[in-house]
Structure 1
Amino acid sequence: MPNPPKPAAKAQHTDGLPSLGVRLRHARKVAGLTLKQVAHTAGCSESLISKLENDAASPSLAMLHRLAMALGSNVSELTSEDWVSAEPVLRAGARQVSRFAKGGKAGYIDLERITHPQKGGLLQADIHLVAPGMVSEVIEHVGEEMGYLIEGTLELTLGGATYRLNAGDSFHFPSNVPHGYRNVGTEVARILWVNTPATF
């Protein structure tokens, strides 16, 4: 009699940004930059950079983007546990999930990685898990993005325009357009989100 299939492993949830302070400090030193230089480029105080490097504060997603740009890096390099992998397959239920926003008692925005983050990689894809009522920050950066709403209801803002998306709808836009989203439904929205170059 064949053995029953094994249950899928739970996703490895990293509640926050593991070892971010160490990675920020390392990236700054490799780039040969002072706290003042990074703070000036990222548009924040030296005090905040110092707190971030000592894990005494957590940056917003928009701030993380600015820091990555100031350091000549990207968010993926600063936050992922494994930068390079020879294994091309990421199994369902065993992918890294990172929490990028919290709100209220149960609000959150999680990113489930479906591509291996790699230095110099050109493509990145995640599944965004957005709790009802959660709103992302509006960001803009270099690149191009596309997405597909797997389930739920989403309000996508691109520049001055807003679009209501339902499961099965897709989108595509240049990343230099200010963009953000809001879950306007009553269930968790799941969005397959692909962008190039890798920025998260």
Structure 2
Amino acid sequence: MTDIVLNAAEDAERLRAPAGEYLVRLSGDQTGGSIAIVEYVFPPGALGAAPHIHHGHEEHFQVLDGEVTFDLADRAVAVGAGGTVSVPKGVAHGFRNASDDWARCLFILTPAGYENYFREIHRALERGEELDPERLARLRAAYDTVTLP
């Protein structure tokens, strides 16, 4: 990456999610693969991601609105707006919206690439395909991510 990248809010790539919506704010295509930023907006009671482990990238979260519950190896932690969670490669985690309000958070992915997983989910939903847990696990595996039982 040698040039400044400036994306207006309305330039976000909008992607359907099983619950809610992903907005790609900064893509690896724009950063030479160094980083991607994806916003996720999801409803009360929604599972954001079942427990999983990324082997190819770190994932950092910032809660923008509402409250997101992170399921970590030894505990569940509710994180409110402004809070951050940083998950290194190889560490199990999952997250959900256990609150009664919509939640909004950023995923900061280093290096980039996992935003393409969200694009694959979007394409499958647009084609009307079912995204059962087994299908999601296969999609994640293509991005060096293991879904846990």
Q: TM-score, normalised by structure 1?
A: 0.49
Q: Percent identity?
A: 23
What is the rounded CA distance, in whole Å, between the counterparts of 1:87 and 1:98 in structure 2? 24
Equivalent residue, structure 2, for 1:167:
81
- Which whole-Å deviations, capped at 9, do the CAs of 1:129-153 have from their partners, x for residues lacking one? 1111100232211222222111101
3-state SS of paired residue (1:133): coil
1:96 alignment partner in structure 2: 13
Give the Cα separation in 2 of the matches to 1:97 and 1:175: 26
Partner of 1:144: 58
- The secondary structure found in structure 2 opposite 1:114 is strand
RCO greater where, 1 or 2, for CA within 8 Å and sep 6 or more? Answer: 2
* Alpha-carbon distance in 2 for matches of 1:147, 1:133: 19
Matched letter for residue 15 of structure 2 = S
- Letter matched to residue 72 of structure 2: L
Which consecutive segments of 4 or more residues in structure 1 shift more than 3 A?
Answer: none
TM-score (norm 2): 0.65
Offset at residue 100 of structure 1 (A): 2.7
Whose strand proportion is higher, 1 or 2? 2
Query: Matched residue pairs, number?
Result: 109
Backbone CA RMSD of aligned residues = 2.0
Closer, same or farther: CA 115–159 of 1 in aligned 2, 3 Å: same
> Unpaired segments of 5 or more residues in structure 1?
1-85, 102-107
Report the Cα distance in structure 2 between the residues aligned to 1:124 and 1:159, rounded to whole angstroms. Answer: 25
